[in-house]
Amino acid sequence: MNLKKEFINFFVSHGHVEIPSAPLIPENDPTVLFNTAGMQPLIPYLLGEPHPKGKRLCDAQKCVRLTDLDGIGDKTHHTFFEMLGNWSLGDYFKKESIGYSFEFLTKVLNIPIERLAVTVFAGNEDIPRDEVSAEIWKSLGIPEERIAYLGVEDNFWIAGDSGPCGGDTEIFYFRSDEEIPVKFDPKDERWVEIWNNVFMEFYKNEDGKITELTQKNVDTGMGLERVVAVLENVDDNYKTSIWKEIIASIESVSGKSYVGNEESMRIIADHIRTSVFISADPAGIKPSNTDQGYILRRLIRRAIRHAKKLGIDTHDDWMRPIALEVIKKYERDYAEIKENKEVVLEVLKSENEKFNKTLEKGLKEFDKLLKSVTGDTIDKDHAFKLYDTYGFPIELTEEMAREHGLKVDTEGFHDKFRQHQELSRTASKGKFKGGLMGHSEIETKYHTATHLLNAALKVVVGSYVHQKGSNINEERMRFDFSCDHKLSDEEKRKVEALVNEWIKEDLPVTMEVMSKEDAIQSGAEAMFIEKYADIVNVYQIGDVSKEICGGPHVEHTGVLGHFKITKEEASSAGVRRIKAVLE
């Protein structure tokens, strides 16, 4: 059975309109990194704005939740998941909502009523106990002993700290072959929550004050992977049909079996799937050190570390076959996965290459550290070195420390991290002034544009692209690079679009002075490594480019104007030449 289809068909047959999943990265809400629930893109409509598709909606929404990131590796948690949901925007309320859920579970999914139990809101000083929902459940045949009343922590739902909210009733399924206890105990882990019906009739403001909404809404959410596990009668979500081919491809890449290697395989499977969805999203997220880009980087790097644990040779593009399985699984339902397939594969490949440059040395450094550490904590300096020199996200260091019963001085790390950022900002300010001498403003701009072009070619054409030369004058820039084919119009258009996007993002350009070795280890691009002095300048543009370079550069990409490719031609065998202007 295809649960997603059955769910949508059922609610459509009850007068709901199916809406497409909103992007994973919220379009109009900078306060959250990802959509974490089906209701999130619907907030304006829950607050009263009329929805163009009407008052009854249903969908499968792509979600990412990071609260459990450290817990991934067990049987039931995922960072990415699809949430099935139905909504009433000021239309039906408790009776119909509970009735629909009950009908879908018992008539469509054929779940025996004996395996179901529910919780309802016990009420607090502001809101009364939800006897209405309890009575509805009883009228449908759920016995009193299978109804538990719980407080605000369990049965009151809100996304974040403020917004539309309300009491909820949660539906549980008894997932075990053991005898079903007569009385429902929500703490008994054999009962798993499968569906949450929220009765959104309140609004909580930033001060915590609760007022009634103008309309009474219903917002429900059902975790797809969890219910599929129930229907397929397995007690490990990763053993369902959803993960079958993905886990099989990890088994094939590693030459190991899932049994005995569950934790690392689950982490790899989960993190690659989430990375595919994040990097395919229209927002165009790339691995970086901030916001969604940092989450993407953390997920990929953690997957790489677990691949190493399984004995996979991470120097290969080992993620590709696994990512291809993920893409195959989802490309029919999500057009962006199909459209951005190449971008996704390239993101994984190039982040893998970047981390591989330093991973091994970093792991050695960590082992050395284990031998020398006194007490139970890894100090801030070592944690920072692992981050700065070897590219280990702090959370990865924490995870590795935990595996050895150690802690990390994370607070100290963050202090050091901030100090370091201040320093490099100051250093870059002073240096820019000096470097600018002898170059006109437009030439300086072309220098920076060259770095962006180099980075864009790597994304669009392939990470194998390397700079072979460049030449700048007041009129144009010229850039030679290794590439085995004439760029297609589409490739040129994509490269231009990417450079212009980075210009529009007004990315900061920073400079750091470091040893040549550190620069290479930190993943900086270098054209002729043997030609550089021992101490080099490394220019970083936002998180899109890092290159050893003499400069000069602008301080922010926003000043570059509009980038346009005027010519693309052969330069010599295996080398192409691009001429471009800033207008």
Binding site for ligand SER (CB under 6 A): 37-39, 85, 157, 196, 198, 219-221
Q: How far is the CB of 28 from ligand SER (least distance, A)?
A: 18
Tell me the sheet residues that pair with 174. 191
Of 104 and 157, which CB lies nearer to ligand SER in the complex structure? 157
Of 37 and 442, which CB lies nearer to ligand SER in the complex structure? 37
Enumerate long-range contacts of 273-276, CB under 8 Å, 24 or more apart: 273/78, 273/80, 273/246, 273/326, 274/64, 274/78, 274/79, 274/80, 274/299, 275/299, 275/300, 275/303, 275/323, 275/344, 275/347, 275/348, 276/323, 276/326, 276/327, 276/330, 276/337, 276/344, 276/348
Of 164 and 435, which CB lies nearer to ligand SER in the complex structure? 164
Of 130 and 496, which CB lies nearer to ligand SER in the complex structure? 130
Q: How far is the CB of 548 from ligand SER (least distance, A)?
A: 47
Q: How far is the CB of 41 from ligand SER (least distance, A)?
A: 12
Of 196 and 444, which CB lies nearer to ligand SER in the complex structure? 196
Q: How far is the CB of 81 from ligand SER (least distance, A)?
A: 11
- β pairing state of 17-18 and 56-64: parallel
| H or E element at residue 154 | helix 152-155
Q: How far is the CB of 564 from ligand SER (least distance, A)?
A: 46
Separation of alpha carbons 394 and 409, rounded Å? 10
H helix intervals, 312-409: 319-330, 335-339, 341-372, 380-388, 394-403
Spell out a b/e string for 152-179, using b for 16 or more CB atoms within 10 Å of the CB, else e.
eebbbbbbeeebbbbbbbbbbbbbeeee
The sign one gets for the Cα dihedral 491, 564, 512, 548 is positive
CA distances from 427 to 42, 421, 434 (A): 46, 10, 11
Of 67 and 110, which CB lies nearer to ligand SER in the complex structure? 67
Q: How far is the CB of 197 from ligand SER (least distance, A)?
A: 7
Of 219 and 512, which CB lies nearer to ligand SER in the complex structure? 219
Q: Is 180 exposed, middle or buried (0-12, 13-18, 19+ CB in 10 A)?
A: middle
Of 197 and 261, which CB lies nearer to ligand SER in the complex structure? 197
Looking from the CA of 505 toward its CB, the CA atoms found within 13 Å total: 17
Q: How far is the CB of 133 from ligand SER (least distance, A)?
A: 14
Q: How far is the CB of 89 from ligand SER (least distance, A)?
A: 14
| H or E element at residue 318 | none
Of 221 and 293, which CB lies nearer to ligand SER in the complex structure? 221
Q: How far is the CB of 61 from ligand SER (least distance, A)?
A: 9
Q: How far is the CB of 576 from ligand SER (least distance, A)?
A: 50
Of 98 and 304, which CB lies nearer to ligand SER in the complex structure? 98
Q: How far is the CB of 37 from ligand SER (least distance, A)?
A: 4
H helix intervals, 481-562: 489-504, 516-521
Which one, of 443, 469, 440, lies nearest residue 454 by Cα? 469
Alpha-carbon 108 to chain mean position:
33
Separation of alpha carbons 148 and 145, rounded Å? 8
Closest-by-Cβ residue to ligand SER is: 221
Q: How far is the CB of 167 from ligand SER (least distance, A)?
A: 12
Of 41 and 552, which CB lies nearer to ligand SER in the complex structure? 41
Tell me the sheet residues that pair with 198. 168, 219
Of 7 and 539, which CB lies nearer to ligand SER in the complex structure? 7
Which one, of 517, 490, 195, lies nearest residue 343 by Cα? 490
Q: How far is the CB of 221 from ligand SER (least distance, A)?
A: 2
- Under DSSP, is residue 381 helix (H, G, I), strand (E, B) or coil? helix
Of 86 and 249, which CB lies nearer to ligand SER in the complex structure? 86
* Structural contact between residues 184 and 145, judged by C-beta atoms closer than 8 angstroms: yes
Looking from the CA of 383 toward its CB, the CA atoms found within 13 Å total: 25
* Sheet bearing 509-515, strands edge to edge: 509-515, 535-541, 545-548
Separation of alpha carbons 23 and 61, rounded Å? 8
